[in-house]
A and B are shown apart, each in its own frame.
Chain A
Amino acid sequence: MKKYLSALVCGFGAGVLQIVPFLRSFSCCFIIPLAAFVSLMLNQRATNSREKISSKKALMFGIVTGFYAALFGTFFELFITLITKHNDIISTFPELQRMIESFPVTPEIKTEVLNLFQNVREEILTKGFSLLYTFSVLMNNFIVNTIFGAVGGLVGAQIINNRINNPSN
Chain B
Amino acid sequence: MRFQYRLMLFIVLLLWFSGIFIEWWISFDNHFLFALPFLQKTYSLICHQDKAKLLIFNHGETLTCARCTGIYLGLLLVSIIFLFKDFKRKFPVKFLLYASVPMFADVILYSINVYHYSKLVAFNTGLLLGSVGFLYLYTGLNNLILEMKN
* A residues adjacent to B (C-beta < 8 A): 18, 21, 24-25, 28-29, 31-32, 54-56, 58-59, 88-89, 96, 99-100, 103-106, 109-110, 112-113, 116-117, 136-137, 140-141, 144-145, 148, 151, 154-155, 157-159, 162, 169
Contact = CB atoms under 8 A, between A and B. Distances in A.
Nearest to A103: B26
B73 to A, nearest CB: 13
Nearest to A32: B46
Interface string B18-48: 0000010011001101101110011011111
A154 B41 contact: no
A32 B45 CA distance: 9
Contacts of B45: 18, 140-141, 144-145
Contacts of B71: 29
Contact of A28 (B38, B67, B146): B67
Contacts of A99: 36, 60
A122 B64 CA distance: 28
Interface of B: 23, 26-27, 30-31, 33-34, 36-38, 41-42, 44-48, 50, 60, 64-65, 67-68, 71, 92-94, 96, 133, 136-137, 139-141, 143-144, 146-148
B143 A55 contact: yes
B30 A96 contact: no
B17 to A, nearest CB: 13
B64 to A, nearest CB: 8
A88 B48 CA distance: 13
A109 B140 contact: no
B26 A28 contact: no
A158 B140 contact: yes
B144 A103 contact: no
A158 B136 contact: yes
Given A113-B33, A148-B46, A159-B96, A136 B140 contact: no
A113 B45 CA distance: 22
Contacts of B136: 154-155, 158
Contact of B65 (A18, A28, A112, A157): A28
Given A58-B140, A155-B133, A109 B33 contact: yes
